[in-house]
Amino acid sequence: MLRNYFKIAWRNVVRNKTFSAINILGLALGIAACVLILQYVSFELSYDDFHEKGDRIYRVRQDRYNEGKLSTQWAAGAHAAGSSFKAAFGEVEDYVKVITRSPVVVDYGEKSLKVEKVYVASESFFRIFSYPMVAGNPATALSEPNTVALSESIARKLFGSENPIGKTIQQNRKKAVKVTGVFKDFPANSHLKADYVIPYLTFKNDVGPDNNPDNAWQWDGAMSYLLLRPGTDPKALEAKFPALVDKLAGEEHRKYRSAAIYLLQPLKDIHLYSHLMMEAEPNGDGNTVYLLLSIAFFIVVIAWVNYINLATARAINRAKEVGVRKAVGSLRTQLISQFMTESVLLNGLAVGLALVAVAVGLPTFNELSGQQLTLSLFLNKTFWLALVALFGVGAFLSGLYPAFVLSSFRPVAVLKGKVSASRQGTALRKGLVVFQFAASLFLLVGTLAVFRQIQFMRQQSLGIDIDQILVVNPPIVRNDSTYMRQLAAFKDELLRQPGIRQIAASSVVPGQASDWNAGGIRLKGMDESKGKQYRVIGVDYDFLKTFDLKLLAGRNFAKSFGSDPKAVIFNKMAVQQLGFDQPAQAIGKQIDFWGETFTIVGVTDNFHQQSLRDAYEPLILRLMPDVRGFFSVKLAAGQYTRTIASIRDEWNQFFPGNPFEYAFLDERFNEQYRADQRFGQVFGLFTAMAILVACLGLFGLATFTTAQRTKEIGVRKVLGASVAEIVQMLYREFALLVLIAFVVATPLAWYAVHQWLQSYAFRADLHWALFVVPFVLVLFIALLTVSFQSMKAALMNPVNSLRTE
């Protein structure tokens, strides 16, 4: 019987090629989109799930307060936190501190290599985290100073087939370090990614015995991870932190009128839900992940709706078949089984086509999303279980209602030709079409909102000129005793070149967050309790001139003023935080900066140091003529290639052994919007797929509706109706459905976009065009979809139309 069901189902598929193709293609697109999104989502949700002790690992998050107000939130907080909590609380089984460092240049024999991903970590690193070692002892690899653990790929580049353990390499051509471990390359789904791990003991030795970081509660920069004992309640442990911190650091916190709250972040939550200062790397967005998951649901539901719509619409055409089958003894359960078999067959063919589409489209999807997803998902049992579940649910839900409708016809009425479309069935089909286009409109408004916000941020004035500026990364290998002379000579040589207008050095450049967060800064003579927190950028004399920063009051740094090494320039927000209403009031005032006295010589207008997602921050530009930072070279318009080549030559002369790495600042600044742009591209891709699937269904429905009204169209033409009037009549019904979809989708889309924009400090307004343009576009696409059938019916000879049965 089952074989008979499939045989009949296949005959129906072949006989009704247009409807079958529409159903299969629509379902395939829906399932393919769903599979792609599920692969992306599963990757994002898999971050750090490979750690054997992951459910017991928590990172210590630090929230700093000034006078009771939250000022900063840190991923890398006080150095004292991890070791102090381990010593005080038995619930903590172990801890590890991790610090991200600048790149290093390593040499072994004739080989020289720059390593980007450099960490400092305490000796428990490989015991707590499940990063497998391929050589060396994980328990002791980080237990001695002046040693290092390398990733497998870095070890291979340096040593080839040699055994690296015990070998000595040169770090930045200053320090000899011994290789004590080689670990497998960190997986892509790890929020920590290192190629070069330095023991924390090396860091402690470098800072000296007078600056023990294990007791430092005002020295931020260390990510602390705690391994809790089995059965420990994280919230209960967290509640014990304030009393201990007050005991160990209360006096220091009260001195600066600041306090810190320490909270525990589950390891699994870091990638999707943590966006704090000094994260190890830019993290993902949990809201985006679940939004894409909802899009996957929408698209596959739209595809199932297509099937239901077309199957029920064709019910009248198959009524005689049902009547004959019932007349010869078929039971209703047997008819339901037959129609469910058709649903299984169509969904099965769609799944096969969808898998082919995923395999072919994965590279394009990776390019759009910025991910490196592979077809290894096809080897995952969980994926196949999920796919079988999706197939089963889809076949059941999309086939159930049509099966009940088709099997409910009474044979007597059917065979007498008394069956016609019911009002309930017609209303259901129209309701489902409204749902499809409401979902499509919702997604399209979201896509346009994303791109409009990105365009808005790129077009806004930054308050700082970043055009035609070439940024050269800081030298890694340098002689600090001669660096000041090298820097001055390098700048003088570049300024002699006609293609270069200005050059400045700074600790960070626009587009980067300044990790120099200075607390306790106050006007000279004021009580220590009045100190506030500021972000500080170290700059040279030429920074303001190079970036064309606008001075609201005072002057720029100048070598002619002998006091300028103790001078600072505030931005407008920093002056307001200091308590002045007008920038001019702050000029000449002295501040206490960590025990030293500095004079405010200028006030700049607020400028965007980072993207427009972030609000203005109180910034201090501190003069540091020998700043170890980035070089920003203002180029004259014209021959960039020749100018860059000459800069490279001078670089190699003054900073030998350092890689020459550069980027144009406007491109680097816009990299901050790359995640939003990729999200918009992915959102747009699946929105287009949703509209396409909906239009496939609309095309099939229009074909059926037009066929049902063929005789009516013939009568109207005989009575004098023009082609334009016939087409208008057929358009009106579908245009009304899109209009209803617009009314349904608009308030939902407005609310969703409004909520999404709240995460941006500077955001585009919700313009009426954001909603009207998608409506016009979808209406045009919908009418274009039904045009072929409408025009065909309107142009048909009425004699032929009136002969149809």
- Compute φ and ψ for 801, nearest 5 degrees: -60, -40
Task: List Cα–Cα distances, 253 to 66, 667, 744, 803, in angstroms.
Answer: 10, 41, 54, 93
Ramachandran region, residue 727 (left: φ > 0; alpha: ψ -120 to 50; beta: rest): alpha
H helices of 633-768, in order, are 640-654, 665-670, 674-708, 710-718, 723-757
Handedness of CA 447, 453, 456, 461 (dihedral sign): negative
Q: Who contacts 431 (Cβ-Cβ below 8 Å, separation ≥6)?
A: none
How many angstroms separate the CA atoms of 568 and 776, rounded?
A: 55
**160: its two tokens:** 């080839």
User: Cα separation of 138 and 136, whole Å?
Assistant: 6
Task: Measure the CA–CA gap between 80 and 94, rounded to whole angstroms.
Answer: 14
Residue-range domain boundaries for the chain: 1-46+287-420, 54-273
Three-class SS of 649-671 = HHHHHHCCCCCCCEEEHHHHHHH
Q: What is the pLDDT of residue 130?
A: 95
Burial class (CB in 10 A: 0-12, 13-18, 19+), 481: exposed
Instruction: Please report the pLDDT score of residue 419 as a whole number.
Output: 47
- Give dist(CA 601, CA 539) in Å, integer: 14
* DSSP SS3 for 66: strand
Please check whether residue 598 is in contact with residue 591, taking contact to mean a CB–CB distance below 8 angstroms.
yes
**pLDDT under 50: residue ranges of the chain:** 414, 416, 418-421, 805
> Which stretches of 220-318 are DSSP H helices?
234-238, 241-255, 270-273, 286-313
Task: Give helix 423-459 / helix 286-313 axis angle, nearest 10°.
Answer: 150
Longest dimension (CA), the chain: 109
Residue 288 is encoded by which pair of tokens?
A: 């985006």
* Whole-angstrom distance, CA of residue 318 vs CA of residue 3: 21
Place of tokens 């599979």: 35
Q: What pLDDT sits at residue 564? A: 78
As given in the structure block, the two tokens for residue 22 are 């529409």
Per the CB < 8 A criterion, the answer to whether 446 and 687 are in contact is: yes
For 110-128, b/e burial (b = at least 16 CB within 10 A) is: eeebebebbbbbbbbbbeb
How far is it, in rounded angstroms, from Cα 743 to Cα 436?
Answer: 13
Cβ contact 639:624 at 8 Å: no
206 to each of 146, 475, 533, how far by Cα in Å? Answer: 10, 20, 27
Which 3 state secondary structure label does DSSP give 279?
coil
pTM of the model: 0.84
The pLDDT value given to residue 383: 73
Helix (H) or strand (E) holding 794: helix 769-795
The confidence score (pLDDT) of residue 735 equals 85
Cα-flanking dihedrals φ and ψ of residue 189, to 5°? -95, 40
Give the containing element (helix H, strand E) for 183. Answer: strand 175-183
CB 738 within 8 A of CB 782: yes
What would you report as the CA-atom Rg of the chain, rounded to the nearest whole angstrom? 34
Would you give the distance in Å from CA 14 to the centre of its chain? 44
Query: What is the predicted pLDDT for the residue at 418?
Result: 47
Instruction: Give the span between the Cα atoms of 63 and 184, in whole angstroms.
Output: 34
Question: Exposure of 797 by Cβ count < 10 A (0-12 exposed, 13-18 middle, 19+ buried)?
Answer: exposed
List Cα–Cα distances, 372 to 200, 363, 365, in angstroms.
Answer: 32, 9, 9
